[in-house]
Amino acid sequence: MPDGQRRIVVTGATRGLGRAMVERFIEAGHQVAGCGRSADAIAELQRKYGALHQFAVVDVTDDTAVAAWAKSVISTLGVPDLLINNAALMNHVAPLWQIPAAEFNSLMQVNIIGVANCIRHFVPSMVDRKSGVIVNFSSAWGRSVSAEVAPYCATKWAIEGLTQSLARELPRGMAAVPLNPGVINTDMLQLAFGEAAGRYGNANAWSHAAAPYILQLGPAQNGKPVSVEAW
């Protein structure tokens, strides 16, 4: 592997912040493995970026599928230097008692269990090597609350605690970091903010500040909640 090149795994790579990060990391010369649930979007990424990178259709809530994906990535590209757990869902805004059970459960599955599944299957190889950074995407709503987004808040508060606990379990030289990406005009923000989401910058603009910031995270930030200041 060329000096300075890093192996980066990104979940939720087919749209929004994930897709924008993939583009910036590849432009910077890094090797990327990404996953998403849209077969068409995954195929387009693979066509665009070629065999040096690996994109796969994976449901992160399926532990067996994540295990197979991690095994494939590690055997073909190598042990990740950076694991970014970005895949997440937002609830439709409503009082908690009006959120259907299926919607509430989906958020728990993707936003928490999906992260745990990826940690379970990628991190052991990183621990064996005693190097690497795990970045779990949190939110301002993982450190504060608002009405009508209780399910989302619950998941992101969970990510804060999960990540800070994981940080205490890692060997010296590694890091687990909960990252608040800031407020960006994505499909998820539009679901929460409606037309007001248009007041904020888009994922592509955000990624030009965020990707370099994420790449510089390391042991000094282990367990420390951080935020991207893109605007």
- Position 124 in a domain: yes
Q: What is the DSSP letter of 185?
A: B
Structure tokens at 110: 């993707």
Q: Say if residue 166 is exposed, middle or buried (CB neighbours under 10 Å; 0-12, 13-18, 19+).
A: buried
Closest CA to 135 of 96, 170, 90: 170
For residue 135, the surrounding DSSP H or E stretch is strand 132-137
> What is the mean predicted confidence (pLDDT) over 47-76?
98
The SS3 assignment for 89 reads coil
- Position 113 in a domain: yes
Structure tokens at 131: 């190097």
Q: Quickly tell me which residue has 């949190």 as its tokens.
A: 138
pLDDT at residue 189, rounded to an integer:
64
- Position 2 in a domain: no
Our answer to whether residue 152 is catalytic in this structure is yes
> What is the mean predicted confidence (pLDDT) over 15-31?
97
Q: What is the CATH number of the domain that holds 94?
A: 3.40.50.720
Query: Which among 49, 152, 200, 213 is annotated as catalytic?
Result: 152
Round to whole Å and give the CA distance between 95 and 103: 13
Closest CA to 179 of 228, 220, 143, 106: 228
Do residues 91 and 103 make contact, with C-beta atoms less than 8 angstroms apart? yes
- Position 131 in a domain: yes
pLDDT at residue 185, rounded to an integer:
67
Hey, which residues does 8 pair with through a beta bridge?
32, 82
Which domain does 63 fall in, by range? 7-227
> What is the mean predicted confidence (pLDDT) over 172-195?
85
Domain count across the chain:
1
Could you tell me the pLDDT band of residue 196, with boundaries at 50, 70 and 90?
confident
Structure tokens at 203: 């994922």
- Position 1 in a domain: no
- Position 213 in a domain: yes
